[in-house]
Each structure stands twice: as C-alpha cells, then as structure tokens.
C-alpha cells in the first residue's frame, strides 16, 4: 500500500524530495525512508536522539507536518546546501564597491538554493550627483537590472531557479520608475516587486495631501499622495505588480523591534526580515487533523494539533543548528534570534470538512480560533525549549514583552515568557505551500481557498500516446470516497467564485495570530472596476493586514482556463481543461513524463551567426520533430571554432535540447536568451541593437520557430491554436505556460506564479 493519496503526489516526491545519488540511484526507496532521513538528521542535535527521532518521524508520518522543501530535500543527505528557504541580504551601501560586494553575496546565496530579498531604497536616485567622479548616478533600477542578469545565470539547489524580491520605499525619488518597471515584459523578470508603504503615506492618501520624494534628507520632488497611490494601483491592476507592504505596521508588530529594523521581505512576502535575516519554514497540515469529516460531529482535533505544533517547533529549532549557511553573517543572525516560521496548509480543505464556506463569517472566526491555538501552542513550546536549552541570545525580557505582538498575547503565555524566556524570537508565518501541498495529496495551499476542485493532466508517453490523469482536491476526493457521486454541498467554493472581500477577511483573520506575515493572493475578477480594485487594498489596510497581493487575469497576466462542467459539479465547481499547446492540437498541451527518444532522421536548418569584433562565426543547427502532423523544435547544436566559446556552447546545446525534448511551450527559451545583456556591450545587427551573443542566438531560434509555424511571429510567443476555445465558466485563471512541464496551469498562488500540474514555482 502506498502512502500517496494521488499519483501526482508520488511524482512530486520522486522529482523534488527523494534522496538520490548523482547517478540517479535512489537512497530513499520509499517515502517512509524520506521521513526517517529527516527525523534522524534533525534529532542528531538532541542528547536523547533516539527518542526524538521517533517523535519527529511520527509528526512527519502521513504528511501531518510538512517541513519546507529545502528541509525535506536536504536534511540527512550530507549535501552542503542550506535548509533555509529565503534570505534578506545585507543593506546595500550607496557606493559602487559596496553594491558589487552585495551582488557577490547574493550570487553565493542563490548558488546554495536560497531566494533573496533586497531593499533598493538605500541607493541614490537616478541623476543624483556622484561626488568625486563628475558623474550622475544611474539609480537603483539600473543596479536591479544587474541583479536580474545575475539571477538568470544561477540555478539554485534542487534544480530551482532563484527568486528575488525587490522593495523600495514610497518616498524614494525613483519610486515612480520602480512602480512602472514591470510594464516592460522583458525587464526584471527574476524579481517580485513591492512598495514599502508607510503610515504617513496612507494618512496623506486619505487626506489627498502632498507627498515628498526624498533621499538623504533632500527633497527631490513633491507629488500628490493619492496620485502616487493610484499609480501603484494601476500598475498592479494591469501587471499584478508591484505588491504592497505596510512596512511601519510590520516594524511596530515585530517582537524584535528593540534590536532590528525591517525594510525587506523574502520573495513571497511572508517573512519580513532584517539584514542577513533567514526564513525557516514548515507547515501544519490541518486537513489531516479533522476527525469525522463531513459529519455533524466533524471537528479539528485541537489536542492533537497542540502536540503536533510542539514537536514541529522543536524540529524547526533544531534546523537552525543543523543547517549550512551561504554566508557567516546569515548564520550569526539566525543563531542570535532563532527565528522560525511555522504555518499551515490545508486550511480551506479543513473548513470544508467541518462544513464551513471559506470566506463566511463562521469560517473567518474558525480560522482565527485555529491560528490562535497554533500561536499559543508554538509560544508555549518555545518557552519549554528555553527552559531546557536557553532563550535566544538577544532575548530582552522587558523589551520583548512590550512588543506589538506580545502585547496581544494571552496572559498565561506572557507570564511564561517573563518567567522562563523564549527559545525563538518569532515563531509563526504562512508561506507558499504549492509544491508540498501537492506532495501531501493535493491539499489546499496555505490559507488559500481551493483553487480548482479537479483538473486533468495530459501526459505524453514515449510512444507518442497520451494518458489523462485527473488531479482532485484532497477534500473533494474524501467527499467522493464517502458519498460517491452525491452533489457537492453549496458551501464548496473555489478561488474564482469568491469575492475579493472574502479573501481579505480570511487573510486578516489569520494575521491576528501570525507574528511574521502571510503569503496570499487575493483573486479578483477580470471585470472588476478600478475603484473596486483599489478598495481591496484599502480594506486590507483597514483590517490590519501587513501587505496585499492581488491577481486579476487579463491580456498581460493571463486569460482564462477553458473548463468543462462535470456531472456532479456543485455551483462554481469545474474541472479545468488545459488549453492549446501546438497549432491544431485541439487544446492539448504536450507534457512528457520522460523525453522522447530521438528518431533516426530529423529535418532541420543551420544558421550562421557572425558577431561583430569576433574572429569566428557561430553555427546554430535546429532540428525538428513532427508530432501529430505538427512540426516543433526538438534539438539544437551550437558550434564555433573559437575555443573560448567551447564550454558555454556545449552547455547551451545540452540545456536547450533537454528543454525542447520535454515538449510544451518552449518559446520561453527564446524570451530568456533575448533578455540576456552583456555588461561589455552588445552590437547593432541588421539595424537592431542586440544586447549579447546569447540574445542573438535567441533571435535565431525565434526566427526558426516562426519559419516552421511554431510561433506566430517575432515576440508573439506560442502560435495561437484556432481550435482551442477559451471560455469562462467560473474556472481558473490561465497564466503563461509552465517552464518545467509545459502545461498552461500557471496561476498566482500565495503571491507567486505556480503550476498546478507539476508544482513548479517561480519563487523556488
């Protein structure tokens, strides 16, 4: 009997979390081996390691506690990788040497698998005088371009591309350029962007007053606060970025306000962190703790919840000692404060199991009660750890108890902290759980509503045949097991049928008992008016949220999944069908569980690229395969007589060919290459400026794809399928094709573009 509730769960485990040797041989033969490996590794720091190994294993068993992916993939493997998911880097100094020192630190961190956050407010604005060199500053966005290029070249641990968050204060002179940056689809693609909103700015917005843009004490411009707010809102209405972070509220509530100031977050926003701060994440799977689901006596077992939380806190505290760190400054920061981020997943499923409609007043109150119980259990467990192992080194009893979060904490918890101290400065955070939620059987993600109750994955096998695999939400599958084809009750709702106000109410209810922050996406209908859209953000401010991220499907962010009604659909329930991948394919996206075998013969073309100032030409050969009567790129060969090019041309040949052989929408390869710039300068070719040799190669690949009919035209992405009808029956928003599996299942979840089919996340 397998422990996996669905085939996709086992596939996620095998692909992302199973410990394998370099040659592919599996060390973890079963998921039980994975749990045992993690439990043993995290118990090694205990004096009674055998006892705690068993308790840790019990917490992991049956997917009850889900450590973040870095822990699950890295613990006990002996690999020199960090088990911390994300970092906020050091404060960027306003000088060239310091800026590039920080770039180096960022590269080292991403190389070990960490996503990073940066506040670029510390760099002087564009046009400001640079003393001593008779020049004007290029501004923070120019340096963000450099960071973006660096991130493109580094694949983080676990075959994940690095993720970055950039923040800028609402009073920085370059804030308007920062707000508009994502209007250029080729710029800053490796960054999430958020504006740091201060309390005085919100007051000025309410009063329709003036707002000074200043740096280093000098006022550069004065704008109307409401106009600036509207520009932020218009950008996120059109492009889903920038997000909004209420930074003064974050600092006021911080348990550590007495010894740190926060100006940035990790890439998904759930962890506001000081310079060199690190986020250590894990989630309690609430869907596994409901007894008698869908019955009158259905309830979450709060005693079991408290025990599980206490064990999880201990496990995560041990990770602080067991993990490697890319930089010594990060290790020192983590050990001085022992910050952890324990959150939840499966909340929406748990609410369904106890008969509550996500977003209703009853569900809002139940969410607050469950998160309160988790906070109490976590803080009391950390107090017990402090009694046993000591408080975190920077603990100051009076200052800590006077912090914003602790003022609202229960009296008995405050008394316990006052008497014994506390092991972990901050304990709770709700992180993106898209991949680990799939691994746990497709439970609802984080505190998000169920995204889609079911959808169909189409898998192209090596012989060219296709199989269909239904992916069903965990709670829906439980309902079917219990009641067969009985119609789902009316309280079953999904992300697309909920009004934005209900999303905000749920986020605010959870935030009351989360001492860090929450990664959540508020889904908005495409036809929401701009005024109603702005009100979502004002509601988030008024209800006490620490930030706000929305997603409105449109021509830029993505349109709509084509969906089909299922025979036993409740109101608003749909089974998502993934739309077109190839011309004339009738709406099917090609996803290959394994690469296709190479036929004996292939048709192709060879192109000559002569880069100016280079002694040797580069030759690019692209060979195609015909599937179901349609031609698509299958492999590429890049050759040059210049031996300085040998290593990177071979690497590019192998990487691009591997991507092409996986199928799906591979036009992103063109986009990625064309966006690479060479800091030494590009060249003019055929009347166009080409920023690098790699961009020129990308242009040739694009030219070839247009010629064979795979692309409609230059810069136009995947060729439209005239047979793929896009309809809106309450289904899920369609984003770009997933770069990992090719399916059009990318959607915004918890502030991050995530694939519902394979779990790939832009944020790592």
Three-state secondary structure of 121-181: HHCCCCCCEECCCCEECCCHHHHHHHHHHHHHHCEECCCEECCEEEEEECCCCCHHHHHHH
- Judged by DSSP in three states, 739 sits in coil
Residue 547 to residue 251: CA distance in whole angstroms? 12
Residue 268 designated active-site: yes
Measured between alpha carbons, how far is 675 from 681 in angstroms, rounded to an integer?
Answer: 13
Which of these, 118, 120, 152, lies nearest to 139 by C-alpha position?
A: 120
Residue 323 burial class via C-beta count within 10 angstroms: exposed 0-12, middle 13-18, buried 19 and up: buried
Q: Which two tokens stand for residue 275?
A: 């310079």
Contact 68, 280 (CB under 8 A): yes
463 membership: H or E segment, kind and range: none
* Catalytic residue, candidates 270, 573, 585, 672: 270
Structure tokens at 178: 């920062």
Distance CA(548)–CA(246), nearest Å, equals: 8
Of 268, 266, 276, 449, which is closest to residue 352 (Cα–Cα)? 449
Beta strand pairing status for 547-548 and 550-551?
unpaired
Using N-to-C axis directions, what is the helix angle for 31-43 and 302-322, rounded to 10°?
A: 70
Q: Identify whether 266 is a catalytic site residue.
A: yes
Q: Which of 86, 151, 170, 268 is catalytic?
A: 268
Nearest to 84 by CA among 94, 92, 74: 74
74 three-class SS? helix
Indicate the helix (H) or strand (E) that contains 52. Answer: helix 49-60
Task: Give the start-end residues of each E strand in 398-453.
Answer: none
Active site residue 259: no
CA 66 vs CA 266, 646, 745: distances in Å: 20, 44, 24
| Residue 593 burial (10 A CB sphere; 0-12, 13-18, 19+) | middle
For the chain, report the end-to-end CA distance as a whole number of angstroms. 31
From 266, 424, 523, 623, active-site residue: 266
Across 424-439, b (16+ Cβ under 10 Å) vs e yields: bbbbbbbbbbbbbbbb
Name the pairing type of β-strands 299-300 and 466-472.
unpaired
Rounded Cα distance between 705 and 631, Å, is 9
For residue 47 the two structure tokens come to 């004096």
Residue closest to 192 by CA, chosen among 167, 156, 160, 159: 167
Environment class of 80 (CB within 10 Å of its CB; exposed 0-12, middle 13-18, buried 19+): exposed
Single out the residue of 575, 704, 554 nearest to residue 637, CA to CA.
Answer: 704
Closest CA to 59 of 234, 282, 388, 385: 282
Distance (Å, rounded) from C-alpha 434 to C-alpha 748?
10
Q: Within 13 Å, how many C-alpha atoms sit on residue 10's CB side? A: 10
Residues near 250 by beta carbon (within 8 Å), at least 6 away in sequence = 262, 272, 517, 546, 547
User: Which active-site residues does the annotation give?
Assistant: 266, 268, 270
């Amino acid at each position: 009997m397998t422990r996996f509730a669905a085939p996709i769960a086992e596939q996620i485990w095998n692909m992302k979390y199973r410990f394998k040797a370099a040659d592919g041989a599996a060390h973890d033969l079963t998921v039980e081996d994975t749990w045992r490996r993690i439990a043993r590794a995290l118990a090694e720091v205990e004096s009674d390691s055998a006892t705690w190994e068993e308790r840790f294993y019990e917490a992991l068993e049956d997917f009850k506690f889900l450590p973040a992916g870095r822990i699950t993939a890295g613990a006990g493997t002996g690999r020199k990788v960090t088990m911390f998911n994300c970092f906020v880097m050091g404060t960027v100094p306003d000088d060239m040497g310091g800026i590039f020192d920080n770039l180096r630190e960022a590269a080292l961190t991403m190389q070990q698998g960490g996503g990073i956050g940066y506040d670029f407010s510390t760099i002087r604005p564009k046009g400001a005088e640079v003393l001593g060199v008779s020049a004007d500053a290029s501004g923070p966005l120019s340096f963000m371009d450099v960071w973006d290029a660096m991130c493109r070249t580094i694949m983080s641990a676990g075959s994940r591309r690095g993720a970055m968050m950039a923040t800028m204060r609402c009073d920085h002179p370059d804030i308007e350029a920062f707000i508009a940056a994502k209007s250029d689809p080729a710029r800053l693609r490796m960054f999430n962007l958020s504006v740091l909103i201060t309390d005085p700015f919100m007051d000025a917005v309410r009063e329709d007053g003036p707002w000074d843009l200043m740096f280093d004490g000098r006022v550069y411009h004065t704008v109307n606060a409401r106009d600036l707010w509207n520009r932020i809102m218009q950008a996120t209405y059109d492009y889903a970025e920038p997000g909004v972070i209420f930074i003064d509220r974050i600092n006021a509530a911080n348990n550590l306000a007495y010894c740190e100031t926060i100006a940035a977050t990790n890439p998904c926003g759930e962890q506001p962190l000081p310079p060199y701060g690190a986020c250590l994440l894990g989630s309690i799977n609430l869907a596994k703790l409901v007894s008698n689901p869908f019955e009158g006596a259905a309830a979450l077992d709060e005693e079991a919840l408290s025990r599980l939380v206490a064990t999880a806190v201990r496990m995560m505290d041990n990770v602080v000692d067991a993990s490697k760190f890319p930089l010594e400054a990060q290790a020192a920061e983590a050990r001085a404060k022992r910050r952890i981020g324990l959150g939840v997943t499966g909340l929406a499923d748990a609410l369904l199991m106890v008969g509550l409609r996500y977003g209703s007043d009853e569900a809002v109150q139940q969410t607050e009660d469950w998160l309160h119980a988790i906070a109490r259990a976590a803080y009391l467990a950390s107090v017990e750890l402090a009694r046993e192992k000591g408080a975190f080194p920077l603990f100051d009893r009076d200052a800590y108890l006077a912090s914003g979060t602790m003022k609202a904490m229960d009296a008995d918890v405050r008394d316990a902290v006052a008497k014994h101290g506390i092991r972990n400065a901050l304990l709770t955070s709700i992180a993106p759980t898209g991949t680990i939620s799939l691994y746990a059987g497709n439970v609802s993600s984080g505190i998000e509503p169920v995204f889609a109750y079911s959808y169909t994955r189409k898998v192209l096998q090596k012989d060219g045949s296709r199989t269909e695999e239904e992916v069903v939400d965990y709670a829906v599958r439980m309902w079917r097991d219990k009641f067969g084809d009985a119609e789902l009750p009316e309280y079953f709702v999904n992300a697309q049928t909920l009004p934005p106000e209900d999303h905000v109410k749920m986020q605010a209810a959870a935030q009351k008992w989360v001492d860090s922050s929450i990664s959540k996406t508020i889904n908005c209908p495409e036809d929401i008016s701009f005024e109603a859209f702005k009100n979502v953000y004002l509601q988030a401010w008024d209800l006490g949220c620490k930030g706000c991220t929305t997603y409105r499907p449109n021509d830029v962010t993505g349109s709509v999944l084509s969906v089909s009604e299922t025979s036993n659909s409740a109101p608003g329930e749909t089974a998502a069908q993934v739309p077109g991948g190839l011309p004339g394919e009738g709406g099917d996206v090609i996803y290959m569980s394994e690469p296709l075998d190479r036929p004996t013969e292939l048709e192709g073309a060879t192109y000559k690229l002569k880069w100016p100032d280079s002694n040797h030409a580069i030759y690019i050969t692209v060979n195609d395969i015909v599937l179901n009567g349609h031609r698509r790129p299958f492999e590429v060969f890049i050759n040059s007589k210049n031996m300085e090019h040998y290593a990177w041309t071979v690497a590019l040949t192998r990487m691009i060919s591997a991507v092409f052989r996986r199928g799906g929408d591979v036009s992103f390869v063109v986009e990625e290459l064309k966006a690479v710039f060479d800091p030494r300068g590009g060249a003019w070719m055929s009347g166009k400026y080409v920023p690098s040799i790699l961009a020129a190669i990308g242009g040739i690949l694009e030219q070839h794809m247009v010629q064979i009919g795979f692309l409609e035209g230059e810069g136009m992405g995947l060729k439209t399928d005239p047979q793929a009808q896009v309809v809106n029956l309450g289904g899920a928003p369609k984003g770009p094709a997933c770069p990992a599996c090719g399916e059009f299942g990318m959607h915004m979840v918890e502030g991050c573009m995530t694939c519902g089919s394979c779990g790939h996340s832009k944020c790592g």
